[in-house]
Structure 1
Amino acid sequence: MLKGPAGALHVDDGGKGGVPVVFVHASCGNTTHWAAQLAHLRKRRRAVALDLRGHGKSTLDGGGPISVEDFAADVDAVVDGLGLQRFVLVGHSLGGAVTTAYAAAHPDRVVGLFLLDPASDGRVIPAEQAAGLMQALSTDAWGAVIAEYWAPMLAPSRPEVRERVLSDLRATSQVGASAGLGSLLTFDPVTALRRYKGPRLTVVTAFNQEPNSYQRLVPELPSMQVDGTGHWVQLDAPDAVNTLLDGFLSSTT
C-alpha cells in the first residue's frame, strides 16, 4: 500500500526491465482486471496496476465530489511513490479518462498513452439527466442502477465475464462507485487529449462509436476497433489486448 491524497492506495507491482507500464482500471474495477496483461508484460518489463481511491483494496477518506483530476492524483502518488520517472499509461473506461488527465498534466513523464474503450465525454449528458443519475446513485438501488446501465456493454461478453464484472461492482463501495461515474460528468477529455502530444492509441468496441467518443471528438487521435467483445475487452479477449499492447509498446519504447 502507498499513501495517496485521500487514503491508502493498493498497488500491484512486478517485473523488471524496459519502460514501465502503469494500468488504471474502470469504475468499480480493480487491479485484477489487468491480471493477463501484467503476467504477459512482466516477462520482460516492469508493469504496475493500482486501485483508484474507493475501489478494490484502496481506501477513501473524507467526502465531497471527486473529479477525474483527483483520480489522476492517485496515479501521481503511485508513480512518485514507486520512483517511476517515465512510463507508458494504459487506461480502461474511467481509467482512460484518468490516464488522459494525467498525461495532459505531466506530458514529459508519459512515454505513451494506450486507451482501452475509454469513457466518452460525459459533459454532453443534459444537466437534468446527470442530476437524476447522481440522485439514483445515492439511493439503496445504486448497484441495480449501474448494472442496468452496463447491461448493453456486457451483453456481448461471456457469462463468466459478466458475472465477474457485476461481482466487482457489488464489492465496490457506494461512495467509490458514485465518485467514479460522477467524475466523468464534468471532465473535459478534448482539451486533455490535445494537450498531450506523445504517442497515443485508443482501442474501442462497436459500442464506443458515438459522437461523444474520444476518437470522434479528437479525429487526430489514432484509433482502431475490436469486434466480438463487450466493454471489458481485457477480460473478454486478453490475448488480443496483449497483442495490441505489444504493438503499441514496440513503436513507442
Structure 2
Amino acid sequence: MVRRIDVTRADGVRLAAWEFADPPKGGTDTEDAPGVLLLHGLMGRASHWAPTARWLSERRRAIGLDQRGHGRSEKPADGPYTREAYVADAEAAVEQLGLAPVTLIGHSMGALTAWQLAARRPDLVQALVICDMRASALGAASQREWDDWFRAWPVPFATLADVRKWFGEDDPWVERPSPARGEFFAEVMAERADGWRPVFSRRQMLKSRETWVFDAHWDELAQVQCPALVVRGLDGELGRAEAQEMVRVLPRGRYAEVPDAGHLVHYDQPEGWRTAVEPFLDGVLTP
C-alpha cells in the first residue's frame, strides 16, 4: 500500500511524500519503526524507489519524497532550485513526518542532498547511503553537454513505447542505453494533448544542476558523522578511485559496488542493489 502525505515548506512550496506503508514484520506499528527517507536524483521521482521501499518497509517506515520540481510536488516557476532549498525540503520532510533519527538513502543529486543534510543536521540523521554521486566538480563542459542533450529530446513522444525506445535504445548521448533506462524515463512522462512530455521542466532541471555541478563537495562529506555507505555501479558515473576517496574522507565510510549496473544502480540491478545495501542497514540500525 502506498499513500501520499503532503509536506509544506515555510516558503509555501508543497511537496508530495509517499509512504510505503506495509506493516513492518514483528508487530511493530509503522509509525514506530525506524524511518527511512528516499531521495531520487535529477529528473527522478519517488516511485523509482518502489522496489527498494518494498523490502525496506518490511521492518522500517519507508518514505519517498518527490523533490521540488519533480513528480507530484510543486514546481514554482522561479524556484528557488538551490542546494539550500533542496536540503531544507528534505529537512522539513524528516521533521514533519517524524522520521528522526532517519536513514537517508539518496541517488545522484538526491545523494548530495542527503549528505549535505547529514552534515548540517547530525541530530536528525543516523545513517546514510550515497548512490552513484560524485563529490568532485564536473564543470562548465558538463553543464553544456546536458543543455545540448535536453535540446535533442524528440518531444513530444507519440507513445510511451517511443519513450522507452529512444531512452532505452536510441539516445545518442549515452554509451550504454538499456531497457531499464527506457522504463525509468517512461515513468517521468505524462500524456498531453500533443503526446507524451516530461512531468518536469528541463529548464528547471538545468537550474537545479547548475547549483552543484561547478563546485566540489568534499568538505561537507567530511562533516558527516553517521555511518555512511558509498555505492557505485561498475558502469556508472562514479569511478572506483573517487568512490574510495569518498569513503576515506567520510569519518565512518564504507564501500560497495554493484556489477552490471550503470548510473541507475537501484533501477538497473534491484537485487544487486539490495545485496549491497541491506547488510549495511542491518549493521547500523536497530529494527
TM-score (normalizing by structure 2) = 0.74
The Cα of 1:81 is off from its aligned counterpart by: 1.6
Could you tell me which of 128, 151, 155 is aligned with 1:141?
Answer: 151
* Paired residue secondary structure (1:151): coil
Could you tell me which of 116, 125, 141 is aligned with 1:101?
Answer: 116
Specify whether residues 6 and 202 from structure 1 end up closer, same or farther in structure 2 by C-alpha distance, changes over 3 A only: farther
2:39–2:65 contact (8 Å) kept in structure 1: yes
* 2:78 equivalent to 1:63: yes
* 2:185 equivalent to 1:166: yes
Code of the aligned partner of 1:219: R
Matches within 5 A, 1:200-215: 200-206=228-234, 207-210=236-239, 213-215=242-244
* 2:280 equivalent to 1:241: no
Specify whether residues 134 and 93 from structure 1 end up closer, same or farther in structure 2 by C-alpha distance, changes over 3 A only: closer
The Cα of 1:67 is off from its aligned counterpart by: 2.3
Match in the other structure for 1:26:
41
Aligned equivalents of 2:42, 2:53: Cα separation in 1: 19
Matches within 5 A, 1:37-116: 37-63=52-78, 66-116=81-131
Specify whether residues 212 and 224 from structure 1 end up closer, same or farther in structure 2 by C-alpha distance, changes over 3 A only: closer
1:28–1:180 contact (8 Å) kept in structure 2: no
Code of the aligned partner of 1:91: G
Which deviates more from structure 2 when the two are superposed, residues 43-52 or residues 239-248? 239-248
* Paired residue secondary structure (2:100): coil
1:53–1:176 contact (8 Å) kept in structure 2: no
Q: How many percent identity over aligned positions?
A: 26
Specify whether residues 31 and 14 from structure 1 end up closer, same or farther in structure 2 by C-alpha distance, changes over 3 A only: same
* Paired residue secondary structure (2:220): helix
Code of the aligned partner of 1:216: E
* Paired residue secondary structure (1:22): strand
Deviations 1:198-251 (A, max 9, x none): 101111022345488454355344222211012111112112222333211111
Structure 2 spans left out of the alignment, 5+ residues: 1-5, 22-29, 155-166, 190-197
* Paired residue secondary structure (2:59): coil
Code of the aligned partner of 2:174: A
The Cα of 1:131 is off from its aligned counterpart by: 6.3
Match in the other structure for 2:24:
none
Match in the other structure for 2:208:
180
Code of the aligned partner of 1:10: A
Code of the aligned partner of 2:275: T
Code of the aligned partner of 1:184: W
* Paired residue secondary structure (2:263): coil
Aligned equivalents of 2:148, 2:20: Cα separation in 1: 39
Larger radius of gyration: 2
* Paired residue secondary structure (1:108): coil
Report 1 or 2 for greater relative contact order, CA contacts < 8 Å, sequence distance ≥ 6.
Answer: 1
Specify whether residues 61 and 114 from structure 1 end up closer, same or farther in structure 2 by C-alpha distance, changes over 3 A only: same
Specify whether residues 224 and 172 from structure 1 end up closer, same or farther in structure 2 by C-alpha distance, changes over 3 A only: same
Which deviates more from structure 2 when the two are superposed, residues 73-82 or residues 214-223? 214-223
The Cα of 1:79 is off from its aligned counterpart by: 1.3
Structure 1 consecutive aligned stretches of length 4 or more whose deviation exceeds 4 Å: 133-137, 147-150
More strand by share: 2
Specify whether residues 8 and 212 from structure 1 end up closer, same or farther in structure 2 by C-alpha distance, changes over 3 A only: farther
Q: State the aligned residue count.
A: 242
1:190–1:218 contact (8 Å) kept in structure 2: no
Aligned equivalents of 2:111, 2:19: Cα separation in 1: 20
TM-score (normalizing by structure 1) = 0.83
Specify whether residues 135 and 34 from structure 1 end up closer, same or farther in structure 2 by C-alpha distance, changes over 3 A only: closer
Specify whether residues 35 and 23 from structure 1 end up closer, same or farther in structure 2 by C-alpha distance, changes over 3 A only: same
CA RMSD across the alignment: 2.7
Match in the other structure for 1:7:
13
